[in-house]
Amino acid sequence: MGASHWEYRVPYRPDVAAALDALRWQAYRDGDYYQVEPDSTLEMSEDDYRATLPGNGDDNDIGTFLLDEWRKAKKRPAVDSPDTLLANQPESGTHSIIDMMNGVSEAAAFGTVSPLTEAELLDCFGTLKPSGDQVAEGASLGGRHGWEGAYVISYEGETPMEIHFFGYSGD
């Protein structure tokens, strides 16, 4: 499937980590994410599943690998939050802000959002205090990669108005 671009904007609040957490929950409640199709084999007993495998999963082969992966999937928690959703589909992610499970960081890091640097703000917007329209038109991820998000605070004059989150995630 490949990674998906996502972006969100929320009213400004001084605690960016709290804003991110609230946004992850909002995306979860709204269903604003990719969800993998349920695996019907997880409803089977281990004996029934084992019977479908080459070599019944007993040999050191693909059957054993598949049985081990099935057992791991059976142990995943029930989906009742952004974190359990992500835990239930670790290979694909959610293609949304929910994938930013490690919160806020000062610099780009896996599963986090981080602020654009002053140099990135100036390069992208020509100012350290861009307006909401400027951010909406020209937000840039800077040097970030997949599964690394960014955020920018937009202003009306000198007053912070919104936090814009954006990134690429999912596989």
Q: Could you give the angle at the alpha carbon of 52 between the alpha carbons of 49 and 55, nearest 5°?
A: 110
- Among all chains, which residue has been given the structure tokens 């959703």? 85
Report strand pairing: 4-11 vs 113-115: unpaired
Same domain, 16 and 66: no
pLDDT (0 to 100) of residue 57: 58
Range in 18-22, 30-34, 53-57, 154-158 the model is least confident about: 53-57
Same domain, 22 and 44: no
Same domain, 76 and 160: no
Same domain, 165 and 113: yes
For residues 89 and 97, the answer to whether their CB atoms sit within 8 Å is: no
Same domain, 129 and 57: no
Confidence of residue 1 (pLDDT cuts 50, 70, 90): low
Nearest to 8 by CA among 147, 160, 117, 113: 113
Same domain, 84 and 123: no
Q: What pTM did the predictor assign?
A: 0.83
For residues 164 and 151, the answer to whether their CB atoms sit within 8 Å is: yes
pLDDT tens digit string along 94-152?
999 999 999 999 999 999 999 999 999 999 899 999 999 999 887 766 678 889 999 99
Which tokens belong to 94? 């959610």
Same domain, 29 and 74: no
pLDDT tens digit string along 24-77?
999 999 999 998 888 888 888 888 888 888 766 566 578 888 888 889 888 888
Q: Is the pLDDT of residue 91 over 80?
A: yes
pLDDT (0 to 100) of residue 3: 80
Same domain, 97 and 157: yes
- 83 is in which domain, residue-wise? 37-88
